[in-house]
Amino acid sequence: MRQAFSDSLVRIADADPRVLLLTGDHGYALFDAFRKAHPDRYINAGIAEQNMVGMAAGLARMGFRPFVYGLSAFVPVRVLEQIKLDVAHDDLPVIFVGDGAGFVYSHLGTSHQSLEDIACIRAIPGMTVLSPADRHELTAAMDHAHASGRSVYLRMGKADLGDVHTPETTVDVTRFQCLRPGREGGTVILATGPIATTAVRVADQVEGAAVWSIPSIKPFDTAALATICQTAGRLVTMEEHSVMGGFGSLVTEEVSALHPLPVLRIGVQDRFSEHCGSYDYLLREHGLDLDTVTARVAAFDARA
């Protein structure tokens, strides 16, 4: 997924001379191709993320199209006020890319683990929030974000979990993406971000379960959800994010107004990690590993 991001950024900049990249002292190797192609459009703002957002806002007002890159624990969480007041308030065309969302920077501890970014950013008026599952959705998300000309947050999670789409798939990030059809009246799993790869593997073990990837958190395809609710027996949401105010909360908010159904929200509970460790360790600690998720979904599916 990270390579798809780099490739998309270079391609978009090749076609649009207004595109700039601002980074808070991150991602040097990731941006080698961009710096080689467009050295005059690469701005390292240093470890000063609040100032970096202000720079991007000013550049956007001057007609540029800034991409602002940082770890998602810092962009958007550390700079939420600046995003709200400097960018979103006037709907400036700045694209914020938060890399390493969820438990990706596992060994660096709570300061670098980002499990609240969706909850924070989706409450800001006018923000588009995108959460791609694989490189195909990431490429489509980059194109959509640039073409929209609006304030966008693009959330990148674990980059090496594999694809949920084939190269032949045409991805529209504004729509739900069906990864696995299911039986009428059965369980429907709605997943956002790379945890969609786990959702597909869970469906291999839960007979008749359908899987959808949801790359757009905001705006949200309420009409698609309403259609699913008409035939589903129950819903499961999956996210590498807190269950407080995140994707699962969004779905339950919508379902309560559309067609009430039982909803199982799978995500991080309202607590910090007890220990540092590998990415796989933290998934197990928080119950997001394949075995635990499969058991929870199977038990939920078996309910009358």
Three-class secondary structure of residue 57 per DSSP: helix
Closest CA to 247 of 187, 178, 194: 194
Q: Tens digit of pLDDT for each residue in 31-90?
A: 999 999 999 999 999 999 999 999 999 999 999 999 999 999 999 999 999 999 999 999
Q: Give the contacts of 45 (CB within 8 A, at least 6 positions apart).
A: 22, 23, 24, 25, 51, 52, 55
Is 0.75 surpassed by the pTM of this model? yes
| Location of structure tokens 């929200």 | 265
DSSP string, 73-102: TTTTTTTHHHIIIIIGGGT---EEEEESTB
- For residue 304, what pLDDT is reported? 54
Q: Tens digit of pLDDT for each residue in 228-270?
A: 999 999 999 999 999 999 999 999 999 999 888 999 999 999 9
| Domain range 177-301, its CATH number among 3.40.50.920, 2.60.120.260, 3.40.50.10490, 3.40.50.12780 | 3.40.50.920
Which regions of the chain carry the CATH code 3.40.50.970?
A: 2-155
Closest CA to 96 of 136, 65, 123, 135: 65
Closest CA to 66 of 76, 55, 74: 55
- For residue 258, what pLDDT is reported? 87
Q: Tens digit of pLDDT for each residue in 148-188?
A: 999 999 999 999 999 999 988 999 999 999 999 999 999 99
Q: Provide mean pLDDT across the span 14-21.
A: 98
In angstroms, rounded to a whole number, what is the distance separating the alpha carbons of residues 30 and 149? 24
Q: Which CATH class is domain 2-155?
A: alpha beta
- For residue 102, what pLDDT is reported? 97
Measure the CA angle with vertex 249, ends 243 and 255; round to 5°: 145
Whether 57 and 92 have beta carbons less than 8 Å apart is answered as yes
DSSP string, 188-216: EEEE-STTHHHHHHHHHHSTT-EEEE--E
Three-class secondary structure of residue 154 per DSSP: strand
Whether 171 and 165 have beta carbons less than 8 Å apart is answered as yes
Q: Tens digit of pLDDT for each residue in 92-131?
A: 999 999 999 999 999 999 999 999 999 999 999 999 999 9
Whether 141 and 130 have beta carbons less than 8 Å apart is answered as yes
Q: Phi/psi at 16 (nearest 5 deg)?
A: -135, 105
Whether 105 and 112 have beta carbons less than 8 Å apart is answered as yes
- For residue 239, what pLDDT is reported? 98
In angstroms, rounded to a whole number, what is the distance separating the alpha carbons of residues 268 and 97? 22
Which regions of the chain carry the CATH code 3.40.50.920?
A: 177-301
